[in-house]
Amino acid sequence: MMALGLFVFSLSTLPYQELKRRRGLALREQQTVSAGSRRGQYVGEVDETIVLSGVLLPELTGGDLSLSVLEAMAEQHTAWPLIEGTGHIYGMFTIDDIDTARTLFFPDGAARRIDFTVALTRNDDINMLGIVTDAIKEAISL
The answer to whether the CB of 84 falls within 8 A of the CB of 19 is: no
Domain boundaries, the chain: 2-141
Q: From CA 99, how far away is CA 117, in angstroms rounded?
A: 5
Phi, psi of 9 (to 5 degrees): -75, 120
The amino acid occupying position 105 is: F
* pLDDT tens sequence across 74-90: 999 889 999 999 999 99
The amino acid occupying position 129 is: L
Length of the chain, in residues: 142
Candidates 2.40.30.200, 3.40.50.300, 3.40.30.10, 1.10.260.40; CATH matching 2-141: 2.40.30.200
Q: Is the pLDDT of residue 48 over 80?
A: yes
CA-closest candidate to residue 19, choices 122, 100, 120: 120
Q: Evaluate if pTM is beyond 0.75.
A: yes
